[in-house]
């Protein structure tokens, strides 16, 4: 009994000590997980979105801001583009809008057509309104399904982790239809 108490008090004082040590700097301290709601079990959600890009015209939604290097037109190495599209629940462009995808893409491979994708999914529906999911990954367009990591989020998605799967459903010189399935664990 006494030894149990000793171990308990050692543990407690060790914890007090580590948090005191951490805070000696004045700018960093340890935090109780409860204060951030992190004591609850995380849940895993599956989001399914579609978006429709327009590459041409005065209302284009995905535009090249830096063209690929002259010797790399086959792989688009050096290309930088910006994208901002409405996210819809259905494949039809006029289906309900539930958010936006905003971000950058860049040609980062000298040997294959591959885009580095850095995008935020901004949700605008219900309890998700204003929350974002950040995705950063390698989008190798020759693959039917590409997997990109979810690297974090804001709002509902603070401390989020997971991955996204993306498919090109339609593509021509003027427009595309893209599907995203995002599997994300969050609190």
Concatenating the DSSP letter of every residue in 82-125 gives EEEEEEESSSSTTSPEEEEEEEEEEE--SSS-EEEEEEEEEE-S
Does residue 71 touch ligand NAG according to CB under 6 A? Answer: yes
Q: How far is the CB of 3 from ligand NAG (least distance, A)?
A: 32
Among residues 31 and 65, whose Cβ is nearest to ligand NAG?
31
CA gyration radius for the chain? Answer: 22
Give CA–CA dist 35/25, Å, rounded: 21
Candidates 4, 28, 43, 144; binder of ligand NAG (CB under 6 A) is: 28
Does residue 18 touch ligand NAG according to CB under 6 A? Answer: no
Does residue 57 touch ligand NAG according to CB under 6 A? Answer: yes
Q: How far is the CB of 156 from ligand NAG (least distance, A)?
A: 13
Bridge partners of residue 103, in order along the sequence:
83, 119
Q: How far is the CB of 150 from ligand NAG (least distance, A)?
A: 22
Concatenating the DSSP letter of every residue in 161-182 gives EEEEEEEEEEE-SSEEEEEEEE
Dihedral angle sign, alpha carbons of residues 67, 69, 72, 77: negative
Does residue 173 touch ligand NAG according to CB under 6 A? Answer: no
Candidates 59, 94, 111, 142; binder of ligand NAG (CB under 6 A) is: 59
Among residues 23 and 91, whose Cβ is nearest to ligand NAG?
23
> What string marks each residue from 113 to 142 as x (binds ligand NAG by CB under 6 A) or -?
-----------xx---xx------------
- Return the number of other C-beta atoms located less than 10 Å from residue 137's C-beta: 19
Does residue 54 touch ligand NAG according to CB under 6 A? Answer: yes
Write the DSSP symbol of residue 127. G
Does residue 9 touch ligand NAG according to CB under 6 A? Answer: no
Bridge partners of residue 152, in order along the sequence:
134
Give CA–CA dist 116/138, Å, rounded: 5
Q: How far is the CB of 72 from ligand NAG (least distance, A)?
A: 9
Binding site for ligand NAG (CB under 6 A): 23, 27-29, 54, 57-59, 71, 124-125, 129-130
């Amino acid at each position: 009994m006494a030894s149990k108490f000793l171990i308990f008090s050692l543990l407690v004082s060790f914890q007090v000590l580590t948090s005191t040590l951490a805070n000696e700097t004045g700018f960093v301290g340890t935090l109780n997980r409860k204060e951030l709601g992190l004591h609850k079990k995380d849940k895993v959600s599956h989001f399914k979105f579609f978006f429709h890009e327009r590459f041409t015209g005065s209302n284009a939604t995905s535009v090249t801001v830096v063209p690929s290097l002259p010797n790399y037109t086959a792989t688009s190495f050096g290309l930088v583009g910006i994208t901002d599209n409405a996210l819809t629940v259905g494949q039809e462009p006029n289906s309900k809008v539930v958010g936006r995808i905003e971000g950058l893409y860049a040609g980062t491979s000298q040997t294959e057509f591959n885009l580095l994708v850095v995008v935020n999914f901004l949700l605008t529906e219900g309890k998700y309104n204003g929350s974002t999911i950040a995705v950063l990954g390698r989008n190798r367009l020759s693959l039917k399904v590409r997997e990109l990591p979810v690297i974090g989020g804001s709002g509902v998605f603070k401390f989020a982790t997971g991955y996204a799967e993306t498919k090109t459903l339609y593509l021509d010189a003027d427009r595309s239809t893209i599907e995203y399935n995002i599997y994300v664990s969050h609190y």
